[in-house]
Amino acid sequence: MKIIEAENLTKTYNGFTAVDGVSFHINRGEILGFLGPNGAGKTTTINMLTGLAHITTGRVKLLGEDYTRSAKKAQALMGIVPDESNLYEELNGWENLCFCGALYGMGKKVREERAEQLLHQFGLTDAACRPFKAYSKGMKRKLAIAAGLIHQPEILFLDEPTTGIDVAFARQIRSLIVDLHSRGTTIFLTTHYIEEAERLCERLAFIVEGKIVREGTVEELMKETQEENIVNFTLGGDLTNLTEEFRNQFPDFNLKLVNNNSVSIHSSATFPLFPFVQFFEEKSLPVFEAKIMRPSLEDVFVRVTGIELQKMQNEQTKKGKKGGRS
Amino acid sequence: MRTWIAFSNILMKDMRSYYLKPPNISWGLIFPIAWTLMFFLRSPVAVEVRDLLPGVMALSILFGTTSMLAVTITFERKSRSFERLLLAPISLNLLMLAKTSGAIMFGVVNAFVPVIFASILTELSGINWLMILGSVILVAITSTFLGLFIAVSVSQVFEAQTFSNFFRFPMLFLCGLFIPLADLPVFVRPLSYALPLTYGADILKTAINQNGVISVPISFLSLLGFSVFLFAYSIYNVNRKWIL
Q: What is the pLDDT along chain A (326 residues), one digit of tens a residue?
A: 899 999 999 999 888 999 999 999 999 999 999 998 888 899 999 999 999 999 999 999 999 899 998 888 899 999 999 988 889 999 999 999 999 999 999 999 999 999 999 999 889 999 999 999 999 999 999 999 999 999 989 899 999 988 888 888 888 889 989 988 998 899 999 998 888 898 899 999 999 999 999 999 988 888 776 777 889 999 988 888 888 888 889 988 988 888 888 999 988 888 889 999 999 998 888 999 999 887 778 888 888 887 766 666 666 565 555 544 44
pLDDT of residue A125: 93
- Candidates A206, A195, A229, A202; CA nearest to A218 is A202
* Positions in chain B whose pLDDT score sits under 70: 28-29, 32, 43-46
R_g over Cα of chain B: 18
Hey, are the CB atoms on A105 and B3 less than 8 Å from each other?
yes
Q: Is B15 touching A (CB cutoff 8 A)?
A: no
Q: Where are the beta strands (DSSP E) in chain A?
A: 2-13, 16-27, 31-35, 57-62, 65-66, 78-81, 155-159, 186-191, 203-208, 211-217, 229-235, 254-259, 262-267, 287-293
| In chain A, residues 130-189 whose CB comes closer than 8 Å to chain B | 147
How far is A240 from A237, CA to CA, in rounded Å? 9
Chain B 27-86, residues with CB within 8 Å of chain A CB atoms: 79-81, 83-86
CA distances from A233 to A136, A257, A267, A268, B172 (A): 47, 10, 14, 18, 87
The pLDDT, as a whole number, for residue B223 is 96
Sheet of A65-66: strand order equals A16-27, A2-13, A57-62, A65-66
User: What is the per-residue pLDDT for A297?
Assistant: 82
Q: Is A197 exposed, middle or buried (0-12, 13-18, 19+ CB in 10 A)?
A: buried
Q: Residue A314 has what pLDDT?
A: 63
B161: nearest Cα among B28, B63, B33, B47: B63
The confidence score (pLDDT) of residue A168 equals 86
Cα–Cα distance measured from residue B135 to residue B57, given in angstroms and rounded to the nearest whole number: 11
- The 10s digit of each residue's pLDDT in A4-59 is 999 999 999 888 999 999 999 999 999 999 998 888 899 999 999 999 999 999 99
> Tell me, what amino acid is at B28?
G
Distance from CA of A61 to the nearest CA of B (A): 16
Q: What is the ipTM of this complex?
A: 0.87
Residues of chain B in contact with residue A82, where contact means CB-CB under 8 angstroms, are 80, 83
pTM above 0.90, yes or no: no
Coil, helix or strand for A150?
coil
- Which string of b and e fits B35-44 if b means at least 16 CB within 10 Å? bbeebeeeee
C-alpha closest to that of B238 among B109, B160, B142, B151:
B151
Chain B within 8 Å of A112 (Cβ-Cβ)?
A: no
Q: Give whole-number Cα distances, A260 to A124, A248, A264, A290, A294, in Å.
A: 53, 21, 12, 15, 22
Cβ contacts of B198 within 8 Å, gap of 6 or more: B171, B174, B175, B176, B181, B192, B214
Q: Supply angle C-alpha B19, B21, B22, rounded to 5.
A: 125
Judge whether A10 is closer than 8 Å to chain B, CB to CB: no
Question: Bridge-partner residues for A33, per DSSP?
Answer: A189, A204
Three-state SS letters, B143-211: HHHHHHHHHHHCCCHHHHHHHHHHHHHHHHHHCCCCCCHHHCCCCCHHHHHCCHHHHHHHHHHHHHHCC
The answer to whether the Cβ–Cβ distance between A53 and B243 falls below 8 Å is: yes
Supply φ then ψ for residue A128, to 5 degrees: -60, -35
Q: Does B241 touch chain A (CB under 8 A)?
A: no
Say which DSSP state B16 is in. I
Residue B169 has a pLDDT of 85
For residue A176, the 8-state DSSP code is H
| C-alpha Rg value of chain A to the nearest Å | 25
- For position A318, what pLDDT does the model report? 59
Among residues A324, A23, A29, the alpha carbon closest in space to that of A192 is found at A324
Residues 6+ apart with CB under 8 A from A213: A206, A207, A304, A305
Q: Look at strands A2-13 and A16-27 and give their pairing.
A: antiparallel
Nearest to A105 among B5, B81, B84 (CB): B5
CA distance B19 to B12: 10
Q: Do A104 and B88 touch (CB under 8 A)?
A: yes
Q: What is the CA angle A194-A199-A205, rounded to 5?
A: 55
- C-alpha dihedral sign at B178, B133, B34, B161: negative
When CB atoms are compared, the residue of A52, A72, A100 closest to B89 is A72
A64: left (phi over 0), alpha (psi -120 to 50) or beta: left
Nearest 5°: CA angle at B27, between B22 and B30?
A: 125
Q: Which among B87, B91, B95 is the top mutation candidate for probing chain A, defined by the most A β-carbons within 10 Å of its own β-carbon?
A: B87
- What pLDDT is recorded for position A321? 53
Backbone angles phi, psi at B54, to 5 degrees: -60, -40
Residue A54 φ/ψ region, left for φ over 0, alpha for ψ in the -120 to 50 degree band, beta for the rest: beta
Q: Does A35 touch chain B (CB under 8 A)?
A: no
DSSP state of A278: H
